[in-house]
Amino acid sequence: MGLLDVSIVNVALPSIQRGIGADAGTAQWVISGYALTFGLVLVSGGRLGDTFGRRRMFLIALAGFVATSALTGAAPDATLLIVGRLLQGCAAGMLTPQNSGLIQDLFRGAERGRAFGLFGAVVGISTAVGPVLGGLILAIFGEQDGWRWVFYVNVPIGVVAFVLATRLVPEKPGRRTRLRDEIDFLGVALLGLAVLGVLLPLVESEQGGLRRLWWLFPAAVIFGLAFVRWERRTVRHGRSPLMDIRLFTSTPGYASGAALGATYFCGFAGIWLVFAIFFQQGLGYSPLRSGLLVTPFAIGSAVSAALAGRLVAGLGRKLTVTGLSLVAVGLVTVALLAWLVPVADIGWTIIAPLLVAGIGGGMVISPNTTLTLECVPTRMAGVAGGALQTGQRIGTAIGTAVLAGVLRGVVTSSGGDYATALSVAMVCSVGFVLIALALGIFELRARRTRRSAAQLQYVTLAAPSE
């Protein structure tokens, strides 16, 4: 539900504008505000789960998400709608890192890979299938008030999930401690300001945010450096940091895996808005038809993610390298077809390459999560998962802003040539994927080096003394 609500609302924006009388800028904040608060609280939510128990935080955040979904759906005006979405994003950001933390807690070895495989399938499906579900809900409940059911649908699902979680998720008590002793509030503020400085101009890019708010990027760098210095100082003085920087400097595979995930999401998550604009504005398709045309990616991603979770223990980084290669091949093929095929035929001709890209995408998300968190201590699993997903949210914001901006720029400069604009946007997406592929090859070689060094150390220690 948390990830689905990032994409499902895109198709409901026109309905929101008509139903509640909001202008385009206000309606855009229904998407932007959710993405912003979602990304801001991920690391803090992971830290709270590490400290006070992941099951407890999961239930609290899930209850909050259900309540704020109902509040958002019932909003009588644009102001309360945006407030509801901001609160809903906070609840989703608190909920999401508990998932990866619980998997780290409850599973080991090959079982953990299978669990993350299912997790990756859910990520792939929820990101890609949002436009289809949004279009279906609007088709059933109508354009005027259908947007409310985009939010109400979370209530029964969330209630069922809450009941199942109380029965099925085992309880592991958190540490008995005071909040102020465990939560680094200055660290929360510094990291929050750094993430805000990156995300706000990006989520506001449709309203000229990059031009108006460019100064937030250097401010984000300053706050980020201050955060790193403060966290190192906190560790030196024996206090509990928000995020131990040694996750990135001393945990094998974590920094490169996090960078790979963020870069892949730049190329992967931005294509859905590009396809929605191309099909709906360029070809005049309905939201439902537009969403159905990109479901091959979701289907391929779901199937391959579940299978990849079973294979990751044996194949390791080879899976992500292969998957990224397939994504690149699939999206390059889409770019070529958009350039060569008549516009009216593009919809059905891209089904096969999107399926190939989806199969590759399923081999990226879950194996990368498994391998990135492989060496993370369990006590830091929540923070590590939160930081990993913060990078993915930032990648999503960057990719959406860049790819949608490229599409609209080419459409404007070419006098409405949507096919060429789609082709250029797909080439930009492939550029991000190729950077992620380079990171994957680098980490594949690094893992081989680490394994060789470990084997050499074992042989040396096991050798009989003279």
Residue 453 has pLDDT above 60, yes or no: no
Residue 234 falls within a domain, yes or no? Answer: no
Instruction: Provide the phi-psi class of 172: left if phi over 0, else alpha when psi is between -120 and 50, else beta.
Output: beta
Residue 460, pLDDT score: 41
- Report yes or no on 206 lying in a domain: no
**So what's the pLDDT on residue 91?**
93
Q: Is the pLDDT of residue 248 over 50?
A: yes
Residue 425's domain comprises 4-170+179-183+242-462
Question: For the chain, what is the domain count?
Answer: 1
Give the mean model confidence (pLDDT) for residues 419-433: 92
388 vs 260: CA distance, rounded Å: 10
Cα separation, 12 vs 291, whole angstroms? 12
The distance of Cα 302 from the centroid of its chain, to the nearest Å, equals 15
Q: Is residue 194 part of a domain?
A: no
Structure tokens at 200: 């706000």
pLDDT in tens, 225-241: 998 888 888 878 777 77
Identify the CATH number of the domain in which residue 436 sits: 1.20.1250.20
Check whether 328 has a pLDDT greater than 90.
yes
Summarised one tens digit per residue, pLDDT across range 151-191 is 998 999 999 999 999 999 887 765 666 656 667 778 878 88
Report the amino acid identity of residue 103: I
In a domain? residue 220: no
Task: Evaluate if residue 283 carries a pLDDT over 90.
Answer: no
Q: pLDDT digits over 2-60, tens only?
A: 878 877 777 777 778 777 777 766 776 787 788 778 877 888 888 888 888 889 999 99
Q: Could you tell me if residue 218 is inside a domain? A: no
* Cα four-point dihedral sign 396, 313, 116, 42: negative
Asked if residue 372 belongs to a domain, the reply is yes
Would you state the pLDDT for residue 456? 43
- Quote the CA–CA distance of 268 and 430 in Å, as a whole number: 9
- Highest-confidence range of 186-190, 273-277, 336-340, by mean pLDDT? 336-340
Q: What Å distances lie between residue 301 and 330, 334, 361, CA to CA? A: 13, 17, 6
**Dist. CA 144–CA 21, nearest whole Å:** 11
Q: Is residue 112 part of a domain?
A: yes
Residue 44: per-residue pLDDT: 82
- 202, part of any domain: no
Q: Which of 21-35, 325-339, 341-355 has the lowest mean pLDDT?
A: 21-35
